[in-house]
Structure 1
Amino acid sequence: MKLSGTDFLIVGRAGMDFYPDPPGTRTEEAGRFVSCLGGSSANIGVALVRQGCSADLVTCVSDDAIGRFALNQLDHYGIGRAHVRSVGGEARNSLAVVETRVEDHQSVIYRNGAADFEMTIADVEAATYAGRAALVTTGTVFAAEPSRGAAFRAFELARAAGIPIVFDVDYRPYSWPSPEVASEVLTRACEMADCIVGNDVEFGFVAGDYDRGLDAARRLAADRLVIYKMGEHGARTFHEGQEIRTGIYRTEALKPTGAGDSFMGGFLAALAAGRDLRDAVLRGSASAAMVVARVGCAPAMPTTDDLEAFMADHPGPTE
């Protein structure tokens, strides 16, 4: 899969993350918290912008102080928000309370009446698709209506404009009405995408059998790019009949969160810069390793210079 240009359109949520401070503090023992931009799609946008790309976000935020916090953070990171709509009523922005610790890590996610699920077909139809490097989204955007229908409409518009569709499975059970609905919808999204990124558990879920995730990845790769992530065992990338095996960059992790969003940003930025597929996967892996060793997600995303320095100073990836 080749990308034309460096301008991405991202569909999905922007929220707020709270981190107990200082790092290592348990949430129930915290006396203070630090806040930053959250939400997988917004985080991917930050990762792309910090590595030399541009990104516009399509989503909804709540018409309150938390929603305005998200808008201000998007401005801070240089993410376009012309298609981010504020919604009133009982809709509320997503909030994640996330610990900066690996052992006994706790993440508490608040998604009741999530504002981003209010995104409509009109919201995605208002965006420009022609000339983009790709449309990027994650599985959470499909978990409820009207967001689900809007996301599928965005896929149709991307296809009509001739731009690639990049889909991170990102299965979050708490967002879905049932596993059966999730499996059906995520499978449909995978079959419409040009590039699918997911871990072994997520592909197993799509397959309907956790022991057959790799088989599902190989089947989907018959006519698209598939990246099958295996945690500390690296990744398998399937494309045009080839399988590329890559390992991970070892770091001293502070937390387990943010790696997937950083991987996606680093990977896509590398493809947009004209790097080959293996190099792009490795740069995504290095970006992920950097983020888990830093506090926060959005503020932890590396710049291109950060990434170059990290890859120069760290030994090659291991499996």
Structure 2
Amino acid sequence: MQRLWQRIKLNQFVVLGRVGMDLYADPPGTRIEQAQRYTSAIGGSAGNIAVALARQDVGAALLTCVSDDPIGRYCVAELTRYGVDTRYLRATAGEARNSLAVVETIASNCQSVLYRNGAADFCLCDTDVAAVDYSGVAALVVTGTALACEPSRHASFGAMAQARMAGALVVLDIDYRAYSWTSPAEAALICRQACAASDIIVGNDDEFGLLAGSHENGKAYAKSLTYHGALLSIYKRGAAGSITFTPDYSFETGIFSVTARKPMGAGDGFMGGLLAGLAQGHTLETSVRRGAATAALIVAGIGCAPASPDTAALDHFISQY
């Protein structure tokens, strides 16, 4: 754990993965099939994590590809507005497009339609990742969706190796999305390889169950990662909170109960709040709690990036809870 604390205080992160546009049926509570208008926001797991970090006063750069069109430029402009460093974004020409999600602000039975064929972020290549200087970076954060196909998969593993050679931590958000993979078996194999190359692994019970071969064995698998090199792994259980495993001890953390307006964005917020807390010198227990609080505020708000709290809002929420 000493290596974690020594490196994390650099307070600079590179997040690898997708960013896209979300269109929310407006006003909140409107069903997509009844909507007459929509509000826009950036989305995508890596984009949301980068925004969550930047909102909590942590340096965050996004490493990805965007489409060379107005949607790609929208994503870059929004990232910049939130304070995310876009120097490692490449606009890719041709038919590749940024993801587009059409979603609802509804807590239960929430509908979402995702358009992700020929995704621009899957165009990430070795040349893109080679351009990153990790000498002053605390950690590379990889979202598992980037591992789903080539050339992004090979580039992601290359980035992980490059980061570790420079002494940076490698953080993996398993982020399993079945629609991006050819099969669950392929996803399990590749994500297990990514876990072995990571220092911090975060996933939910279904994701660890996938990697373990059964839902019942997921918790034990998450714990076992700390026996084989991981500094910590966090096993998320939805409303039941999370269990954090380290090589020396483990602990449980509950959720912050809020009135949810939508089910999306909690995992991205959790990762952002967790890493920001660690970078700012909070204890591991407090940092996990800050991740849970960030997740709660995002599901209670409208949009994901727009609902991501700044440090003052997060501190106030925790103090008032």
Q: TM-score, normalised by structure 1?
A: 0.97
Paired amino acid for 2:127: A
Partner AA of 2:57 in structure 1:
G
Aligned to 1:229: 236
- Which residue does the alignment assign to 1:215? 220
Runs of 4 or more above 4 Å deviation = none
Q: Output one character per residue of 1:282-301: Cα deviation in whole Å (capped at 9) or x when no partner.
A: 01001100100000001110
Q: Tell me the CA shift for residue 204 of structure 1.
A: 0.1
Aligned to 1:302: 309
Alpha-carbon displacement from aligned partner over 1:52-98 (angstroms, at most 9, x marks no partner): 11111111001111111111111111111111011111101111112
Matches within 5 A, 1:1-319: 1-2=4-5, 3-222=8-227, 223-224=229-230, 225-314=232-321
Gaps of 5+ in 1: 315-319
Q: Which stretch has the larger CA shift, 59-68 or 102-111?
A: 102-111
Write the distance in 2 (CA, Å) between the matches of 1:144 and 1:124: 16
Aligned mates of 1:4, 1:125 — CA distance in 2: 24
Note the C-alpha offset of 1:28: 0.9
State the distance in 2 between where 1:273 and 1:117 align.
32
2-structure distance, mates of 1:163, 1:30 = 46
The residue type paired with residue 226 of structure 1 is S
Whole-Å Cα distance in 2 between the matches of residues 165 and 277 of structure 1? 17
SS state of the match for residue 294, structure 1? coil
| CA offset digits 1:197-227 (Å, max 9, x no partner) | 0000000001111221011111112132100
User: Deviation of residue 32 (structure 1)?
Assistant: 0.5
Deviations 1:134-175 (A, max 9, x none): 111110000110000000000000110011101100100001
Q: Is the 8 A contact 1:117 1:144 kept in 2?
A: yes
Task: Tell me the distance in 1 between the aligned counterparts of 2:216 and 2:171.
Answer: 25
Q: Give the SS at the match of 2:86.
A: strand
Aligned pair count? 314
Cα deviation for residue 187 of structure 1 reads: 0.6
Of all paired residues, the percent bearing the same amino acid is 51
SS of the residue 2:66 aligns to: strand
> Which residue number in structure 2 is paired with residue 317 of structure 1?
none
Amino acid at match of 2:274: F
- Structure 2 CA distance for aligned equivalents of residues 243 and 191 of structure 1: 20
Does structure 1 retain, via aligned residues, the 8 Å contact 2:9–2:280?
no
Mind listing any 5+ residue stretches in structure 2 that lack a counterpart? none
- The CA distance in 1 between the partners of 2:280 and 2:215, in whole Å, is 35
Secondary structure of the residue that 2:306 maps to in structure 1?
helix
Counterpart amino acid of 1:149?
A: H
Paired with 2:55 and 2:247, the residues of 1 have a C-alpha distance of: 30
Deviation at 1:241, TM superposition (A): 2.3
Conserved? CA contact 2:20–2:75, under 8 Å: yes
TM-score for the superposition, normalised by structure 2: 0.96
Partners of 1:89 and 1:123 in 2: how far apart?
A: 17
Which amino acid counterpart does residue 84 of structure 1 have in structure 2? L
Name the amino acid aligned to 1:228.
Y
* 8 Å contact kept, 1:4–1:132: no
Please give the alpha-carbon distance, in whole angstroms, between the structure 1 residues aligned to 2:314 and 2:301. Answer: 13
Residues 96-130 of structure 1: per-residue CA shift (max 9 Å, x gap): 11211012111211110000000001000001111
